[in-house]
């Protein structure tokens, strides 16, 4: 599921970069780092609610509740998650620039 979601988000990133008409590799990478940070922030805000409502192990108490910004999984989880989304944005922006520009 995560692989397919990543492909879909990559296409969304590419659509946004096309819509704002980036014209250089640096601009594509910079814009996509911002897009990745916004995406990562959204994940940190929404994922705890989604896990608490939908994941059967969280609901049954067999898996620890995620807590605000996923801090229930460790204090560095938000940092790692946000960093991963920023890196995803950097990779997608650089790939976009290499293919399109």
Indicate the pLDDT class of residue 89, thresholds 50, 70 and 90. very high
Under DSSP, is residue 66 helix (H, G, I), strand (E, B) or coil? coil
- State the pLDDT at residue 87: 98
The full set of domain ranges for the chain reads 2-100
Q: Cα–Cα distance between 16 and 56 in angstroms, integer? A: 35
pLDDT (mean) for 32-44: 97
Indicate the pLDDT class of residue 27, thresholds 50, 70 and 90. very high
Q: Cα–Cα distance between 100 and 93 in angstroms, integer? A: 10
pLDDT digit string, tens, across residues 46-84: 999 999 999 999 999 999 999 999 999 999 999 999 999
> For the chain, what is the total number of helices (H) and then of strands (E)?
4, 0
Indicate the pLDDT class of residue 10, thresholds 50, 70 and 90. very high
Q: What share of the chain is helix, strand, coil (3-state, %, to 5)?
A: 80, 0, 20
């Amino acid at each position: 599921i995560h692989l397919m979601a990543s492909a879909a988000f990559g296409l969304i990133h590419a659509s946004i970069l096309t819509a704002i008409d980036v014209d250089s590799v640096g601009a594509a990478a910079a814009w996509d780092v911002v897009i990745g940070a916004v995406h990562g922030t959204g994940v940190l805000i929404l994922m705890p609610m989604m896990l608490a409502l939908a994941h059967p192990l969280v609901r049954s108490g067999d898996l620890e509740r995620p807590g605000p910004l996923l801090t229930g999984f460790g204090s560095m989880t938000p940092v790692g998650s946000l960093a991963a989304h920023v890196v995803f944005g950097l990779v997608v922006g650089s790939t976009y620039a290499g293919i399109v520009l």
